Amino acid sequence: MISITAAELADLLVETGERHHQAYADTDGADPEWALWYSGYLQARLWDRAGRLPSRSQLVGLLQSAERRYGGAEGWPARYAGHLLAGLDASGPSGEVFPAVVADDIGWLTREQMVEVDRVMMQDLRIDLIQMMENAGHRLARLVLTLAAPGRVAVVAGSGGNGGGGLVAARHLANAGVDVVVTLGGPADQLNPVPAHQFDILRRMKVATSDTIVDADLTVDALIGYSLRGAPRGAPPN
């Protein structure tokens, strides 16, 4: 965790900008790799202010997302400082970082594009669905543990790949000692093969299930993925 105030970090950002401008005086400060330069300068000066030193890649990502969000708006040092601290405060014990970002900063894929991504992964690269599902569910579990640290989690899972990822997350959360209760969006015998495999693992682990959504500190919604046709239908879990 970084032991520096927002005001101190804002001042450090101003100093960093001035030093960067001096270093790139020939181009009047223009530098397409400015975030990399800033990250090195900041990291060196945060060395004795950190219980866990942020990586340069973390700082670069946060600086770039701050630029997309705020640009050179008036008061940018304070805005950037708040953005960096929010991202760094979201870091987990293993150094993971999940910075808050603006939705408009993220590229969106259409359903057709996502289908093509999956096709490339499975057919061209030979990465199996179960491997992709495992990675997605594991990262989801890490996100939950890092940002929320809940005692009890309800996982609501559909019958497809999105539901399978939620079931993987349920397993990793249970392994981390979280009280997990799984609710399926339909009968277990209607799960697709890979999600059915994940659900079978949970049953063998004796992870709790419920026909209704239980009260919990956090609910993981893994009901609907891109394979949905038309509007959601059927009775939702209570």
pLDDT tens digits, residue range 87-135? 776 554 444 555 556 666 777 888 889 889 989 999 999 999 999 999 9
Give the integer Cα–Cα distance in Å for 137 and 174.
Answer: 12
Alpha helix (H) ranges present in the chain? 6-23, 34-46, 56-70, 76-89, 111-119, 129-147, 161-175, 193-204
The whole-number average pLDDT for the span 141-146 is 84
Output the CA–CA distances (angstroms, integers) from residue 6 to 21, 39, 81, 135, 188, in the order listed. Answer: 22, 17, 6, 35, 50
Give the integer Cα–Cα distance in Å for 54 and 49.
Answer: 10
Neighbours of 139 (CB within 10 A): 16
At 16, list the tokens.
């960093």
Site of tokens 């996982």: 155
Averaged pLDDT score across all residues of the chain: 85
Whether the Cβ atoms of residue 97 and residue 91 lie closer than 8 Å to each other: yes
pLDDT at 94: 44
- The closest alpha carbon to 232, from 186, 199, 201, belongs to 186
- The closest alpha carbon to 233, from 166, 181, 133, 159, belongs to 159
- Ranges 31-35, 48-52, 125-129: which has the least confidence: 48-52
Neighbours of 63 (CB within 10 A): 23
The pTM for the full model equals 0.60
